[in-house]
Amino acid sequence: MSKPIVVGISDLNIAQKGDVLVTYALGSCVGICLYDPLSKIAGLSHIMLPTIADFSNSNTVREKFADAAIEILLQKMLSNGAMKVRIRAKIAGGAQMFSNLSNLSLAGIGERNVIAVKQELYRLRIPVVAEDTGKNYGRTVYFDSDEGIMRVKSVNMGEWSF
Amino acid sequence: MALKDYGDLNEYQLDALKEIGNIGSGNAATALSDMLERSVSINVPTIKVLDYNSAVESLGGPETILVGILLGLRGDIQGMMMFLLNKEFAHNVLNSLLGTEFGELSSLDDMSQSAILEVGNIMAASYVNAIASLTGLKIDISVPNMCFDMAGAMMSVPAIYYANISDKIILIEDEFGHINKDMSSHILLIPEVESLQRIMESLGLDS
């Protein structure tokens, strides 16, 4: 197997022909895995925030936001031969790393990210077939383009696949 | 000129922040040393204006496993302070204070958790006191929070918090060492842009 394709924060990428995508250490961020089982095209996006609508800074990175990134990823997959009706989503992340952050106006950002991701997937009519979200630990996500399996690795809780 | 982005800081201002880090960490190291009854060494602080990915790389990569203690700053300076301790450091702290060991966070008893939080609290308070007396600003710190996880996942917290201001974050980074080389820790001071402006004004460096 070749080296995995690394997706950084506020970044996205696609893989095919058995290549594996990886994004490291999702905290409150959410990793969105999209997969077309027939063309075996996989996509992975690592978003940080729910919506681009709150942002005045127009030259910000669009891949940072749930409501902008997923569509960019989808288009990228479609232009490489994926078909929208076949695409399924698996999502992971959206944790709350520090338990008591109410004073920092950050409370529930993980949860809000997950909700925004689901809303956007619903709007695009992409069903979510698996998710591992919330709780309080970081996750590294591997997503392989051969079978569309999402593997989640954590520090304290071990690892598992979807 | 008012600061709008972390990239706007000039050389003198960066030097001033480095000095703030120096004084703050000197105080924090003394507090730590008093608590542990051992000598603690500190390196000259570095100051970095980085994007998130490089900030995480500078801590050893996203999957480096660390103990993180996060505190909020309020008052005249708003922002966050984060202590990142490696496992050996946390272990040594527990060993000195309680005679116990650091295993997994999930198996850490209340006493050990509160000991680590208290160390974070005392170090943060002495760090912040030093900045407050230097600048004449009033700074409060919030109750600390702890987690034991991947550096990348913990760093995403300040990254998300500052994402509406800038794609970059500013780190005033201090390294604590010990006679035992395996122990390392970082203090990250992450002020908001308006607070940086206020610090510069108080030091007469705002133009």
Q: What was the ipTM of the complex prediction? A: 0.84
Q: Is residue A86 part of a domain?
A: yes
Q: Which H or E run contains B17? A: helix B11-36
Is A28 a domain residue? Answer: yes
Q: Which CATH number characterizes residue A16's domain?
A: 3.30.1330.200
Interface mutation vs chain B, best among A22, A24, A96, most B CBs within 10 Å: A24
**Quick one: A94 exposed, middle or buried, by C-beta within 10 A (0-12, 13-18, 19+)?**
buried
Q: Which of B52, B74, B149 faces A97 most closely, judged by CB atoms?
A: B149
Task: State the pLDDT at residue A101.
Answer: 61
Residue of A117 and B79 predicted with greater confidence: A117
Per-residue pLDDT, averaged over B19-30, amounts to: 83
| A70 vs A65: CA distance, rounded Å | 8
Residues A108, A96: Cα–Cα separation, whole Å: 7
Residue A162 located in a structural domain = no
Interval B85-126: pLDDT, tens: 888 888 888 888 887 777 665 667 888 888 888 888 888 888
Q: CA-to-CA distance for A121 and B45, rounded, in angstroms? A: 45
Structure confidence by residue, pLDDT tens digits, A46-91 = 999 998 887 666 667 889 999 999 999 999 999 999 999 999 999 9
Domains of chain B: 6-202 (3.40.1550.10)
**Mind listing the pLDDT tens digit for each residue in B140-187?**
988 888 888 999 999 888 888 777 666 677 777 777 766 566 667 788
Q: Do B148 and A104 touch (CB under 8 A)?
A: no
* A interface test, pick of B87, B149, B155, B190 with most A CB neighbours within 10 Å: B149
B chain contacts of residue A103, beta-carbon cutoff 8 Å = 72, 74, 142
Answer yes or no: do B106 and A156 touch at CB < 8 A. Answer: yes
The mean per-residue pLDDT over the stretch B70-84 comes to 88
- Residues of B within 8 A of A25 (CB-CB) are 56, 62-63, 150-153, 156
Cβ separation B52–A9 shorter than 8 A: yes
Q: Which residues of A are catalytic?
A: 29
For residues A90 and A30, is the Cβ–Cβ distance under 8 A? Answer: no
> Is A127 within the bounds of a domain?
yes
For residue A161, tell me if it sits in a domain: no
* Structural domain harbouring A151: 5-156
Q: Rounded CA gap, B27 and A6, in Å?
A: 40
Tell whether B164 lies on the interface with A, counting CB pairs under 8 A.
yes
- Considering its fold, how many domains does chain A have in total? 1
What is the predicted pLDDT for the residue at A57?
62
**pLDDT for A32 beyond 90:** yes
